[in-house]
Amino acid sequence: MTTVETLAADLQRDGFAFVPAEPMRALLERAGALDDLPAFSESWNSLAVDTYMAAGARYRRRRHAVFSVTTGGAIARQPHQPHYQTLEYNPLHGGIARWFEPIAPEIGGGSTLQTIVRWCAQLFDRLEAAGVPAGPINLVTQALSDVQAQHRQMVRTIAGTPLVGSPVRLDGHRADSELPPPALGEHTDELLSGLLSGDELAGLRASGVVG
């Protein structure tokens, strides 16, 4: 019999687990209702085209939503936001904010998806207890308000601009710059003066090529 505990053990041992449909449904039903399962299943037929595929490919469809789950189990849908992966994690499609179409409100707030999110949170708790690296993906605001981030002063304000501080310490000192970020076009003349004449630079500025 497949349980959350046996599933967590499989993940800890093998790094993956395959659960057939019926045992998976039984697991989910222990976490909550699946009253709108037909509508949830049908929603997969209205996924939007992923417009971020390399070389303009059109074969993948998806929708996107972000949910948070408190330690007490309360689920809240977060404001719509892009899906982001680093280039190290996704060399083909990473490094950009991908704005996918949102999951429909009635599906996101329906019992089936709410149960899936709740069940995943319960599984993550068991994986963490078993020493398997797993956990929720925090919003930027959540990550930067974390106690550890605050302790390490990861949010700094320079010249009225909030910035992410450097996590690096060199001999106990921060590797941060005390200079504010440059304004748009602030160093244009300085950078191009060694390549262009004053008239050429003025012409580019007049035509709107540089600001």
Q: CA dihedral defined by 42, 48, 53, 58, rounded to 10 degrees?
A: 80
- Give the closest residue to 116 by CA, choosing from 201, 8, 34: 34
pLDDT of residue 202: 86
Strands 48-49 and 155-158: unpaired
Give φ, ψ of 64 to 5 degrees: -140, 145
pLDDT of residue 186: 84
**What pairs with residue 45 in β-bridges?**
none
Give φ, ψ of 23 to 5 degrees: -60, -35
pLDDT of residue 135: 64
Helix (H) or strand (E) holding 49: strand 48-49
| Domain ranges (residues) in the chain | 4-48+61-78+101-137, 138-172
The pTM score is 0.63
Contacts of 157 (CB under 8 A, 6+ apart): 163
Q: Mean pLDDT, consecutive 10-residue segments, the chain of 211 residues?
A: 83 88 93 96 96 85 93 90 83 87 97 95 84 71 74 77 75 73 82 86 84 69
In angstroms, the Cα distances linking 188 to 13, 65, 191 are 56, 40, 5
- Give the closest residue to 81 by CA, choosing from 164, 141, 146: 141
